[in-house]
Structures are given as structure tokens and as C-alpha cells.
Chains A and B, each alone.
Chain A
Amino acid sequence: MYDVIIIGSGVIGATIARELSKYNLKTIILEKEFDVALGATMANSAIVHSGHDPIPGTLKAKFNVLGNRMYKKMSEELDIPFLECGGMVVAVDGTQIEELKQLHDRALKNGLKDNEIRILNQGEVRDMEPNISDTVKKALYLLTTAVTFPWEVAIANIENAMDNGVELSLETEVLDINKDKNFKVSTTKGVFESRVVINAAGIYADKVSNLLVKSNYEIKPRRGEYFVLDSDVNLVNSVIYPLPTEKGKGVIATPQYHGNVLLGPTSDYVDLDDKTKTSEEGISYIRDEISKTIKNVPFNKVIRSFAGSRATSTRNDFIIEETDVKGFINVAGIDSPGLTAAPAISKYVTDLVGKRIKLTKKNDFNPVRRVTRINKLDTEDLNELVKRDDRFGHIVCRCENITEGEVIESIHRKCGARSVVGVKMRVRPGSGRCQGGFCQPEVIKILAKELKIDPMDINYNKSGSQILNESTKGEAK
């Protein structure tokens, strides 16, 4: 019997889990996939938006600005990469200057402070961003825009939640939900009982909700496709947005914490089956759109393209509310700026939980998570580390200089990696220019050894995604 069941382990489920772990509650996260955070958290722009563009008065506007103000502290506590690079919305011709001013006013209405936004003239923009398109006349500079590493936001929050007592059950797909006195959540791994259920199932939130109560919204997967540029490309210093349209924030150039540049996303409603497919049209759309704001884009430096789908709802705003069934809370339709809003949403949801269960703070809550990162250490500390454990001297990922020690640590942490992509999400081998060509065989060997399973059983990402098909050496089977 649990106090709270959280369905879904994306950034929303993860931050809620951590927030709840501050209280004396028995909480479990149910995730249907082989690993956490494989939905929209896996594929998005990684931006901590300032809150300049949501429509004033919406939950999006409220939680965006609040979430932005919470990110730095969360990132410090949980050792999550955080790049305070700022951002700018650019007007690519004279006709857009008026819209830029309206956006400036909207940002103020949403609660940004005077000293957090500023209109830049052409010269100022050029000085800050040498590769900005020549047609850019003015820009709205957003000082509080930042960039995070979404995979680690989810994983760090879940790890810290687990350190503080939260449980996680993977490969646990919810099949049915009933309520008599308590909730009974039937899954592929049996029935879980709880007093409160939080539905953070992302793109499947409407379907999960319908298991118990007819939902008053639908989720329409809205796909975004992206390009990743190699880390040796110095294209932009800050997040470069075009002016927003009804379709969203447009195709953005985002400097990533680890040195790459992300170009995207597109915005297209798709069927569930196509939610992570890249398309010919999408690829050419990004090329065309990005060329309106940035010049000299080196498309020959693309090292990856990918797609993910936002959980856009039919209600045009975040849905964060208790349903008619007391204790069943929907946290749905969390598309952009959901990543930014996540920590603020988690507080609000915790308050909703507090209406059903009396919340008392834990005395021994530990807010801190730390990860060993060799590229953060000076030579002296590195050598101390190698003396303690020589596997931190053995580099397995040549593009990003990731050591065997870091890979092993990622496997043995709480919510540890079990697949090749799981290791990549946690410590990044395979993220560089060779895309795992060299390190993937090494990562498979380490996973097999540490998890004590056959290399042929190691998955790429999901269940049933093994990479090795047949052993050709040794005794015949």
C-alpha cells in the first residue's frame, strides 16, 4: 500500500517524485518502458525558457516564470548541467519590430523583471552573435534564458527521490485503474494500491485518465524534429528564437551545455506510431527556417537528427488538477515550456496531494546528489581518483573523454543504466561525433560484466532492442 503512485517517469513524474520525497510519504513511480525518461524528455530543446511568450494568465505563463527561477538551485543541488547563456528573440525584418515590442510587454505581464529583458539594436545583436542573419534588425534579449540537460533533469530527480525513499518500477505498464476506498492500479507487474494517483503519463495521459474517469481533454502528439551539430561548431552563444507563431516558438538554435548546437524543432501533429520518426519534410523545413535567423549554418557538421513528440492537449494550456475522482490528479498536456515549469509544477502538485494526505516534512531529507565527472576535476584530483579506482583512468569514449569508471558508476547508481542508450543518457558515451561507433562495443562489454548478463541480452534502448544477434565463437550451443 502506497500513499502516492506516480504514473510516468519523464521530467514531470521525476520532479514530482523528488518533491514528494521531502515528506513522510510512501511513493512509487510506475514506468512502462525499459528505462526512465524515454518520452518527450528524451527529445526536446533543452531550454530553460524565461517565460516571455506564454499567454498571460495561463498556467504555462505562471509555472514557466516560477520554474525558471527554481532551476539554478535545483541544478546545484542535484549536479545537473546548467548553462546560463541567455536568449534572444530576433525580428528578421522591419515588420516584425512591432511584434517584438508586444512580446516585450507580454514578458513583463508574465512577471519578468525590467532588468531581465531588453531590446537590442542591430549592432548589439551582431556583437553578441556574429552568425546572426544580416536581415535581423532588432532582438528581445532574455537574460534569464538558460540551457539544461533534460535527460539528467529526470534521472537526477529520480535518483535523489530514490535516495530519499521513493520506489521505481520499470517495465510496468498501467492496464487499469479502479477506486473503492483506495486506488487499485493494475499493471503488467501486478496490482499497486495507493491513496493518491498522479497521472504524468505524457503522451498517453488521456488514455491513462480514461481508465478511471472520462477525461475532459485529449492528447495530440505534436512532433518536433531536430539536428545536432558537432561540438567543434561555434555557431551561437545564446538561444536564438524567431518570433513565436500559433505553431509555437519556431525553429530555434540552442547552444548545448556540452558544446553542441541543437537546431529545431518542427511542429506537426502526428499519429502515435510516427511520434519519433524523422521525415524528409521536417529535415528540409529546419534547414529553411534556421537560415532565416542564422547565417553560415554548417549542415555538414550535423552528427545526428532525431524526433520527439510533445504531449499537446486540446485545452491549449497545462492541465494540472484533481479530477472528479478525489485523489486522482492529472498532470497532462505538459508541452513547452514543460521542462522549465517542471520544478514549479511539482510544488503545486504536492499541494494538491496535501489536500488528500496530511503532509509532514522529513527530518532527514537529503537534497544533494553528486556524480563523478572527470572533465570537472583538475589533474591532482583526477590522479587521486585513479589511485582509488583505476577504472577512472581508462577512457572508453574517445569523442567525449568518458571513462570506464564513469560508465560503471552510471550502472550502479540508483535508477542505474541497463542499456546502451541508458548509459548515454547518464554519462554520454555515444553523444559525440562518432555516435558510438567506437565506444558502443566497449559499453556493451561493461554493461554485461557489471549486470552479470550475456552481452547478447544487452538492449540498445527499449525492451527487445538487443544489438548482438548470434555468437560466432566458442562452443556450439
Chain B
Amino acid sequence: MKQYDLIIIGGGSAGLAAAIEARKNGVESILLLERDAELGGILLQCIHNGFGLKVFKEELTGPEYAERFIEELRGMNIEYKLNSMVTTLKPDKTIQYANANEGFVIVKGKAVILTMGCYERSAGAINIPGNRPSGVLTAGTAQKYLNIDGYLVGKRVFILGSGDIGLIMARRMSLEGAKVLGVAEILPYSSGLQRNIVQCLDDYNIPLYLNHTVTEIIGESKLSKVVISKVDGFTKIKGTEKEFEVDTLLLSVGLIPENGLSESCGIELDPRTKGPIVDESYQTSVEGIFACGNVLHVHDLVDYVTSEAKKAGYKAAEYVRKKLVNGESFRTIAGEGISYVIPQMINKDNLVDNVELFMRVRKVYRDANIIIKGDNKVIKIIKKKHLAPAEMEIVKLKVDDFKNISKNLSIEVEV
């Protein structure tokens, strides 16, 4: 059985940045396993621009953004395997992967970083009444068909959910000659970034129906119609039905961290994020297994994935060098108005530089404060003009801020 200091599962934006950062911090023996035929992950199908504004201070397309990291990784001669699916992960950090060249292979790492990304919530998960014809698919799958394989899935399109991929696909399919008739969002606000609403819907005169959802799918073998209705909360209001003759319904109704492997390994998950519970070093409940990127929680910008993955790569390198302490830790608490906080645990002994807390709010706020308390005493207040669930908030704290905390760190929104 071949041994590595560090094995990284997934060669998307998180895996690439984590591998590079671990190597920069002295880890020589690294193996990166990628299930697809190329490195880069989902970035490869995101051919629109808008990536890299924070990391590179310039606007790149997804493949361009990925390419910078892929080149750096190759330049460092980090070992990676393509078309290689990990089938098992055990708490002792043995991993089985499979590919056509080697068959089923078992390897072992001193440390493991999970960077498997996320998957799209499917039509099946949301139980739309009606038929089950072809023509109903997730926005990301349609994006792959269009941008990688070169096929348009339909000509008259309705989109359910205002997640970013759906908005991007509204524009993309319009540019390819499809007619996008509208986007329905069950919530009173969009779940995508504001810039995407403007650039992908408004600029193309595509109506956004807030407080609406698809209430019936009609069509025998192919989709022929969708019915949308206004909702009160999550309950359909009778008599508000609108019919659209379409051949395609795209779904952009949420992304879910892909943690099948993590669960089978016994890694503890956070029911809110659906990703692993991690500490300040991005270490999961299983010692030596780290997690970052969309497998940990769903990010709205790849730039944030990169910065998170760099830290996880650095900390994994520290772990390999036995410099991480498994001392006492305390919890971070998502208080009033906050749906989750990453990391969920903080071990003060491992804090060396600034700490970034990632979080999302539960609803839209105007002129509100984010209040950070240590052991129930206010340690920081951040004024915010606008807060929305679609936009991840980052709170930076100094190591000094933690000096007097021993029980918990809580974050809440105050209006």
C-alpha cells in the first residue's frame, strides 16, 4: 500500500489551492485524486466571467481561473490522477480509488483534505406535482450539456429557483437562441447574487416572479407546459396559476455539499451546512481529515473557496509536521438571524494569524449590525447596510480578540 503525507480528494478549485499551499509549506508527498477527465472541477463549465476579482484583481472566466492553478500545480510536480473515483475513505485515512489504468487501489495518507464539492438539489427532491417527462433538469446539468458537450437542451425555457447557476443559464441559453420565459423564486427575495439578477435577467428582459413556484409539470414523454402559482409562505394560493408552454424546465433550487464519503467515514456533519463540522484549522471530527470548499459549505464566489482552501492546505501541512495541537476547543454559535458559522469549533492553541468566520444570514436585512460576542460579552460590532442569505458574510477577527474567550463565540444580527 502506497503511503502519502497528504491525499486530496477532488481537483476543483478547493483541491487545487489546498494542494499548492500544502506544497508551499513543505509537504513533498502529495496525491490529488480527481474523478473527472480534467482538473478544474465545475469551473470548467463556467465559461462566463466574474471569477478572480478578489484573488487576482481581474475578471477571469472559470476555465481561465482554473488554468492558473492547474499550471502552478503542474509546475510543482504535484502528483495527481484523473478519472479516479474514490470509493472508500476510512478514519485511519486509508482510501480506495478506482480508475481504468490501475483498477481499484488502496493508498494511505498521514492527512486527507476533502474537496469533493457539491451537487445540485434535483427535481426529485422538491416533489413538484405532475408528470415526469424529459426536459426537466438541473441548471448545472444543462450548463454541462451546453458548455462542455455542445448541446442546447431546449428552445423555450422556464427556470425554477433564482440560484446563481439558474440565472447564468438564463443568459447563456438566451445567447444560444432559446427563449427564457421567466424565473420563479418561492422566497420573497432572490437566492442569487444581485449582479447576476441585473446582468442575466434584467438585461435580457426575463421576468423574475418572486413568491412563485412551479406547481405542476405537464407532458407525456417530453415537457409541454409548466404551471406556476403565487405562494403565501410555502403554500400555493389557488387561482393565481399561470401556464407557460415550454420544452425545458431548469432547476436552480440549491446546492448540497457532497458528503457521501464523509458520512461513511463517520465524520460529523452540521445539519445546517450539510458539510463537516470543522475547527479553526478546517479539521473535521476525524483527526487528520480536513475539509474545505463547497464540500464544507456552499460558497457564492470561487475566490472565497480559494482563500479557505489555502488555509486548509496550510493547516494540513502543519498537521503533517505534527504542529497542530488537539487541545481544548470551544464552539461558535449561530445566534439570532444567522443560519450558520464556519468554523464551528475553535481551538485557541492553533490560532496564529487572523481568523475568518464565514456565515450566512437567515433573511434580508437593511441597516443592521453583526454582533460578535465572546462568552456573552460583545467583542465586535460590524455595521451593515444590506445583508442577504445569498451573500456570504465574512468576519475577520484577530488572535487577540480570542484572548479572554473560554466557552463560546456567538454571532447574531441586530436590527
Please give the residue numbers on chain A whose beta carbons come within 8 Å of chain B beta carbons, in ascending order: 227-228, 232, 276-280, 282-283, 302-306, 379, 382-383, 386-387, 390-391, 393-395, 398-399, 401, 403, 433-438, 440-441, 445, 455-456, 459-474
Contact = CB atoms under 8 A, between A and B. Distances in A.
24 contacts: A228-B124, A277-B129, A278-B129, A303-B125, A304-B124, A379-B104, A382-B103, A383-B103, A386-B98, A393-B100, A394-B98, A395-B85, A433-B260, A435-B123, A437-B137, A438-B141, A441-B141, A441-B148, A445-B149, A461-B221, A466-B222, A468-B151, A469-B151, A472-B152
A437 B120 contact: yes
Interface residues of B, number: 55
Contacts of B140: 437
A400 to B, nearest CB: 10
B119 A395 contact: no
Nearest to B219: A465
A441 B99 contact: no
Contacts, number: 151
A395 B127 contact: no
Contact of B83 (A283, A394, A399, A455): A394
A440 B141 CA distance: 8
A376 B264 CA distance: 18
B236 to A, nearest CB: 7
Contact of B247 (A305, A435, A460, A469): A469
Contact of A383 (B104, B128, B141, B149): B104
Contact of A276 (B120, B131, B150): B131
Contact of A277 (B130, B138, B215): B130
Interface string B313-333: 000000000000000000000
A464 B221 contact: yes
Pairs A-B, 8 closest by C-beta atoms: A473-B150, A304-B124, A460-B134, A435-B122, A386-B103, A390-B100, A465-B221, A395-B85
Contact of A465 (B101, B123, B222): B222
B205 to A, nearest CB: 22
A437 B119 contact: yes
B188 interface: no
Contacts of B221: 459-465
Q: Which of A306, A383, A465 has the most CB of B within 10 A?
A: A465
B348 interface: no
Contacts of A440: 137, 141
A455 B127 contact: no
A433 B119 contact: yes
A399 B106 CA distance: 20
Contacts of A434: 119-120, 122
Given A303-B124, A473-B150, 7 more contacts: A278-B128, A304-B125, A386-B98, A441-B144, A467-B137, A469-B154, A471-B151
B165 to A, nearest CB: 11
Contacts of A433: 119, 122, 256, 260
A474 B149 CA distance: 11
Contacts of A283: 127, 129
Contact of B98 (A277, A393, A441, A466): A393
Contacts of B35: 395, 398
Interface in B144-159: 144-146, 148-155
B220 A280 contact: no
A474 to B, nearest CB: 7
Nearest to A227: B127
B414 interface: no
A108 B134 CA distance: 47
A85 B407 CA distance: 47
Q: Which of B96, B106, B258, B260 has the most CB of A within 10 A?
A: B260
A390 B96 CA distance: 17
A395 B261 CA distance: 15
Nearest to A43: B132
A244 B152 CA distance: 49
Contacts of A436: 122, 141
Contacts of B122: 303-304, 433-437
B263 interface: yes
Contacts of B150: 471-474
Contacts of A468: 145, 151-153
A379 B248 CA distance: 43
B367 interface: no
Interface in B234-288: 236, 247-248, 256, 258, 260, 263
A277 B222 contact: no
Contacts of B151: 455-456, 468-472
A332 B236 CA distance: 40
Contact of B131 (A277, A304, A382, A456): A277
B58 interface: no
A395 B146 CA distance: 23
A386 B105 CA distance: 11
Contacts of A282: 129
B106 A379 contact: yes
B87 interface: yes
A401 B87 contact: yes
Contacts of A466: 134, 222
A474 B151 CA distance: 11
B104 A386 contact: yes
A465 B221 CA distance: 5
B103 A305 contact: no
Given A433-B119, A474-B150, A276 B132 contact: yes
A393 B101 CA distance: 7
A398 B146 CA distance: 21
B176 interface: yes
A226 B181 CA distance: 31
B353 interface: no
B133 interface: yes
Contacts of B256: 433
Nearest to A380: B104
A282 B96 CA distance: 42
A280 B237 CA distance: 13
Contact of B119 (A304, A306, A438, A462): A438
Contacts of A391: 100
Nearest to A390: B100
